[in-house]
Structure 1
Amino acid sequence: MTEVGAAVEAIGIHKSFGPTRALRGVGLALEPGRCLGLVGRNGAGKSTMVSVLSGLVQPDAGEVRFAGRPAPPAGAVHAWRERIATVHQHSMVVPDLTVAENIFLGRLPQRRGPLGWRSVSWRTVNADARRTLDDWGLEIDPGAPCRGLTVEQRQLVEIARAVASGTRCLLLDEPTAALEHDAVARLFSRVKQLVASGVAVLYISHHLEEVFDICDDVAVLRDGALVLSAPTRELTRDQLIGAMVGPVPTREIDATVSRLDLSGAGDVRDAERLLEVRELTATSPRGAVRGVSLHVAAGEQVGVVGLVSSGVITLGRVVAGADRADGGTVLLAGRPLPNGRRDSALRAGVGYIPEDRRAEGFVGPLSIAENTTMTVTDRIARQGRGVLTPRALERAAAPLTTALGVAAASLRQPVDELSGGNQQKVTVARALARDPKLVVAITPTRGVDVASKELLLGALRAAAERGAGVLLATDDLDDIEHCDRVVVLVRGAVAAEYRRAQAPAPPFDRETLIAAIEGLGADPDAADSDAAVSLDPHRKESRA
C-alpha cells in the first residue's frame, strides 16, 4: 500500500496509558478513493488509533499528517473535523436537535442583521441539509427531531454531517454493530458511493466478512503493533485470523475453556424443564413480546434469534428480571420468578449477561476483582468471617478472569481502563461467578474479536456441560453454533423452532434460519410454541 498522495498518514505512532503500551510504532496511510479495513483482537490498539486519528489523543511519539501537512494540535476539535470525521459505534447525534441542526452542529450558517447582529439562517440550514440528504439519496426529514429516528437513520445523519463538512477522510468505527441485515447492505452502498467519489475511508469491524466485502486494503494490529498490511484480495480469512491471533493455536483456546470451574451448577442437571416461560407478554422500545412460551432444560443451550425489533432482547431481559412483563409466567425449577426483580432472579440462580455492558455489565471505576465478585461478596465475607479484603476478592476472581483471558496489568485495574472485549469478559465472569442454575446471555459476543468470541461462547458451553441451562438471545447467527435448539421470534411471537442436527456441521442451516427471521416460510402470527413451525435444520420446506 503506497503512501504517496495519502489523504491522511499516521507515522510511527506510540501511545502508552500507564504500564500499558497501546500503540508501538504504528504507521497507516489512508488513500483517496480507497477503503482501509483496520482489524485486530480486543486490546490490540484499534480504539486508541481511532482516537489519535480523530485528534482526541496526543501520541507520545510519531505524527499524523493530512495531505503531507502536519495535523492540528490534539484537542483542536474544529480544526480536526475539517479534515477528518468519525462515525462511532454508539450514536453521537444530539437527540433533541433536528436532523438539520445535527448535520451542521457547531457550524450553523449565520447572517448579519441590520444592526450588525449575527443570527442563524434557519432557512439556509434546512435547505442545505435537504440538499445534502438528497445528494446521497437519504429519505430523512431535515426538520425531524433525531430522538425519533431509527439507529440506521441516526448513523446516516452522522455520515451526512461528515459529508456536509467537506471532509475527505472518514473513520467508521464498528458502524454495523446495531444494524439489521438490510440496513447493513444500505450502509455499504453509501460507503462505496463515498469511496467512488474520492473519500478516504478507514473501516473498523470485528466482522471479517464485512472487511472482505467493502475494504480495498486491510491492516492488522496485534498487541499495539502493525503486523500485516496488504490488499484484501491477496488475503484469505484464515490468513487474516492468523495475523490477528498470532501464534496461539485454537487447541489452546479449547484447553482454556475446559479449565472453567463452574462446578456449583451441577446440582440442577436432572431438571427436565429448568426454565419455563408461559404465555409471556411484554411491551418495550426494544421490541414487544406476544404470548411467548418456551423452555430450557438443565444442561441445554437454547438460542433465541430474530431481528433487532423482534422482541429477542426483551424476552431475555424479562427472564433475567431486568424488565417487567405485562402478562405470563416465568418459572425456574418449578418456582415462579418475581416479575421485574433482578435481585430476586439473582438469588434464585439466574446469571445475567446484558446487551449493554457499559450500562449494566460493570461499574467502571471499580477494579476487575471487585466487578467479578460483585455477585458473591456474601460468600467471600462468610469465608473471611465478615471481612472483605482486596486479596480475598482477587483470589475469588482469578480463576474465571484467567480462564476467560482478561488482559490487564492486575486484577486491581479499574474496568474503565480495559478494552471493550476485556470489559465483556469481566461482565461474563461476573455472571458466572455465582454458579448460576440458568445463564441468560444477550448478544454476548457483540464487539469482540474472533478468539475472544470463542472463549465467551466456550464459557457458556462449559456452564451447560456442568448442568446449567443457557438462554442465548442474539442477532448473530455465529453465536448459536453450539446451541441444542434455536427459537425464532418474528414480531414478538414464536415463529419457528429448530433442533440441532445430528449430522456434521453446520448444525443449523443459515438460509433456513435467515428466511424464518425475515418472516419467510414461517407463520409470523404464531402466538405460542405449539403453533411454531418445527423444521429439520437441513430442509428448506416446513413439515407443518
Structure 2
Amino acid sequence: MSRTNSPSLPDSPGTQPEGAPHDPEATPHDPHTVAVTGISKSFGAVHALTGVTLDFPPGRVTALMGENGAGKSTLLKILTGVHRPTTGQIRIDGRPVELHSPAQARAAGIRIIPQEPEIIPHLSVAENVYAGSLPRRRGRILDRAELRRRVEADLTRLGFADVLDPWLPGSRLTPAQRQLVEIMRALTGDTPARLIAFDEPTSSLSEHEVDALFALIRRLRGQGIAIVYVSHRMREIFRLADRVAVLRDGGLVDVQPADDTDEGELVRLMVGRDLTGMFVRHRVATDRLVLDVRGVTTDDVQDISLKVHAGEVVGLAGLIGAGRSELALALAGDLPLRDGNVTIDGKALRSGHPGDAIRAGLGLAPEERKAQALFLHRSVRDNTTLVVLDRLRRFRFVRRSAERELAQQYTDRLRVRTPSINHEVRKLSGGNQQKIVLARWLARKPKVLILDEPTRGIDVGAKAEIYRIIADLAKDGVAVLVISSELPELLGLADRVVVMQGGRITGELDHSEADEESILALAMADDLAGSHSGVTS
C-alpha cells in the first residue's frame, strides 16, 4: 500500500504544550483524528506519563517506541479505557471525551490487540470472537444459525476463511491463530474501528505469519483506520510505520517520519545514550568442557550432541518448531530422555530430575518467563532467592536478613527498576522481569546457563544490559547456551552457532564464518533439499 493513499493532514501549531517536541503532523483538532492532549498519569508517587500530546492520524501507522517503563502500555490503557488520566484529555472528532471502561472505548471505535491474546479455551473461535455479543433467540438461547452466518461473513471479509476454523476450540489454537481471533474481535461489532493498537503482535509469529499480518495492517491503513504499532523490533518499524513517536521516562521526546530517521537515532532517543557497542565482548572460551550432550533423544528431538566450554557462548538457532526450547527443557530435566546423556563437569544428570540439574550447576531461563519462570504475585525478593533457599537456611529456617541482603545485591547488580525488593513481580516491565529470572540464577552461581529467547519482548536498553550480563557470565567462566530467533543477536553474542531443524542439528558455524544467510540455509536444509529433489525428479 503506497503511503500516498494516506490523507494529507494540515499542521496545527499551538496544540502541543510549551516545551514539548514538535510533531509536524500533529492535528489534535482534525475532525477525523483520535488524539491525546496533555495526558499525565500517576500511580501514587510514580509518574507513568507526563504531559503527553500526540495525535493518531487516520490512514497512517504510528509506531510507539520506548524502553520498558517508558509509558507505552499506560498510554494504550488510557486510550482503551482501562485507566483514566490524572490530567489531560482524549479528543475524538475534535471534542474531549471520557472513557471509563474498555466497552466505552470500543463503542468509540478504539480497539487494542494485546501482546498476550485473551482466549477462552473451552469456547470455539466464533464464540470467542463475539463473546459478550452472541446472537440469541428469545433473549437466552444461542442462535447458532445467526452465529454461523455472522462468523462466516466476517472471516470472508477479513480474508481469514482459509486459516481459521470458526468451530475450533480456543485450547487448540496456535499463537498465530490466537492473534487472528483478537484481530477479528477488534474488527467486528456495530461500531466501525477508527483506531487499532497492536502491542508486540509478532512475538509468537513465524516470518510467513508476520508477512500476512503486515498485509492486513496495510489494508486497514488503506481503509483510513489509524494504526498504533508497538514493537521493539527495529526492522518491523522501518518496514511498516509511517511515523515514529518515542517515549522516555513517561514523556514524549520526539515524533519523526519513519523515512527521516534510522535505528541509531531511535535508540539514542529511547535510552538517552549511544548503544552502538552493545555486542562488544572479549571472547574468553577455555578448553575446559562443562556441558557435554551426547545422543540426546526425546519425543521432540533426535540424537542431539553438542558441547559448551567454560567461558563460551554457544548460540542455538532454528525456525519455530525446530525443537530448540524442547531441547533446553530436556537438558534442564523438565522433559525425560528416551536416549542419550547429559553431563556437567563430567557428572551425569539423571533424566527427568530438574533438582539434579540445579544441584549440578545448570540454570534455565525459559522462553515463557511469565508462565514458566516467575511467580507473578510474589515479590522480587521471593522470585530472586527461589533456588538458593537451601543455602540461606539455618537449621530448618530461612535467614530472612540474609535473604533480603542477597535479593538486594543481585537486583542492584542487574539494575532492576523496582520500588523495592518487596514489590510484586507482575507489576514490573518485561525487561525487569527478565532480569529477575537472571538474578535468580546468578545468585545460584551456575556452571551452565541456558537462556531461551532472553530478550523477547523487551526494549533495546534492557537488551543492551542483558548482553552485558551474558558477557560478564562468560568472562567469569560460565558456559552459556543462548536460544534466539533474532539472528543479529546470535551473531553478536555467540562464539559458535549450532543450527536445528525438525528436532535435529543440521550444522554448526564458527563465529568467524557465521552470517544470516548461512544460518538460514542450515535452518531450512530439509526444505531446500526437498525443493531441489522436486526440481530434478
Partners of 2:292 and 2:342 within 8 A in 1 = yes
Give the match for residue 152 of structure 2.
Answer: 130
1:16-38 per-residue CA deviation (whole Å, 9 max, x = no partner) reads: 22322111112222121111100
Partners of 1:366 and 1:414 within 8 A in 2 = yes
Please report how far the alpha carbon of residue 523 of structure 1 lies from its aligned counterpart in structure 2 after TM superposition. Answer: 6.7
Q: Distance in 2 between matches of 1:274 and 1:18?
A: 48
Match of 1:224 among 227, 250, 257: 250
Match of 2:290 among 274, 294, 297: 274
Please report how far the alpha carbon of residue 435 of structure 1 lies from its aligned counterpart in structure 2 after TM superposition. Answer: 1.1
Give the match for residue 119 of structure 2.
Answer: 93
Give the match for residue 157 of structure 1.
Answer: 181
Q: Distance in 2 between matches of 1:207 and 1:476?
A: 9
Percent of aligned pairs sharing the same letter: 37
Give the match for residue 533 of structure 2.
Answer: none
Partners of 1:72 and 1:80 within 8 A in 2 = no
Relative distance call for 1:152 and 1:254 in structure 2 (3 A) is closer
Partners of 1:495 and 1:523 within 8 A in 2 = no
Q: Distance in 1 between matches of 2:167 and 2:378?
A: 42
Segment drifting more, 359-368 vs 432-441: 359-368
Partners of 1:7 and 1:32 within 8 A in 2 = yes
TM-score by length of 2: 0.87
1:169-220 per-residue CA deviation (whole Å, 9 max, x = no partner) reads: 1110000011111111111111111111111111000001111111111111
Please report how far the alpha carbon of residue 429 of structure 1 lies from its aligned counterpart in structure 2 after TM superposition. Answer: 1.1
Match of 1:353 among 362, 365, 368: 365
Please report how far the alpha carbon of residue 254 of structure 1 lies from its aligned counterpart in structure 2 after TM superposition. Answer: 8.8
Q: Distance in 2 between matches of 1:111 and 1:365?
A: 42
Task: Show structure 1 runs of 5+ residues with no match.
Answer: 259-265, 502-506, 525-544
Please report how far the alpha carbon of residue 252 of structure 1 lies from its aligned counterpart in structure 2 after TM superposition. Answer: 9.8
Match of 1:119 among 141, 156, 162: 141
Q: Distance in 1 between matches of 2:511 and 2:256?
A: 39
Residue 329 of structure 2 aligns to a residue in which SS? helix
Q: Does 1:486 align with 2:497?
A: yes
The within-5 A match list for 1:323-472 is 323-381=335-393, 388-390=399-401, 392-472=402-482
Segment drifting more, 211-220 vs 97-106: 97-106
Partners of 1:37 and 1:217 within 8 A in 2 = yes
Q: How large is the RMSD of aligned CA atoms in angstroms?
A: 2.5
1:241-267 per-residue CA deviation (whole Å, 9 max, x = no partner) reads: 110011x34499799x99xxxxxxx9x
Give the match for residue 193 of structure 1.
Answer: 219
The within-5 A match list for 1:470-509 is 470-480=480-490, 481-501=492-512, 508-509=514-515
1:125-167 per-residue CA deviation (whole Å, 9 max, x = no partner) reads: 1122111111222112222223222211221121122111232
Match of 1:58 among 84, 95, 112: 84
What count of residue pairs does the alignment treat as equivalent? 497
Q: Distance in 2 between matches of 1:415 and 1:143?
A: 37
Task: Tell me which amino acid in the other structure corresponds to 1:280.
Answer: V
Partners of 2:246 and 2:252 within 8 A in 1 = yes
Q: Distance in 1 between matches of 2:97 and 2:525?
A: 50
Segment drifting more, 19-28 vs 200-209: 19-28
Q: Does 1:16 align with 2:22?
A: no
Relative distance call for 1:450 and 1:141 in structure 2 (3 A) is same
1:465-506 per-residue CA deviation (whole Å, 9 max, x = no partner) reads: 2111111122221331221111111111111111110xxxxx
Partners of 1:496 and 1:522 within 8 A in 2 = no
Task: Tell me which amino acid in the other structure corresponds to 1:367.
Answer: S
Q: Does 1:510 align with 2:516?
A: yes
Give the match for residue 49 of structure 1.
Answer: 75
Partners of 1:316 and 1:471 within 8 A in 2 = no
1:354-396 per-residue CA deviation (whole Å, 9 max, x = no partner) reads: 11111232223333233223222333446x9965234x33432
Partners of 2:294 and 2:341 within 8 A in 1 = yes
Residue 463 of structure 1 aligns to a residue in which SS? helix
Partners of 2:36 and 2:53 within 8 A in 1 = yes
Please report how far the alpha carbon of residue 236 of structure 1 lies from its aligned counterpart in structure 2 after TM superposition. Answer: 1.5
Residue 228 of structure 2 aligns to a residue in which SS? strand
Match of 2:104 among 67, 75, 79: 79
Please report how far the alpha carbon of residue 448 of structure 1 lies from its aligned counterpart in structure 2 after TM superposition. Answer: 0.9
Residue 256 of structure 2 aligns to a residue in which SS? strand
Q: Distance in 2 between matches of 1:201 and 1:17?
A: 27
Q: Distance in 2 between matches of 1:97 and 1:456?
A: 39
Residue 444 of structure 2 aligns to a residue in which SS? coil
Partners of 2:286 and 2:312 within 8 A in 1 = no
Q: Distance in 1 between matches of 2:334 and 2:155?
A: 39
Partners of 1:318 and 1:340 within 8 A in 2 = yes
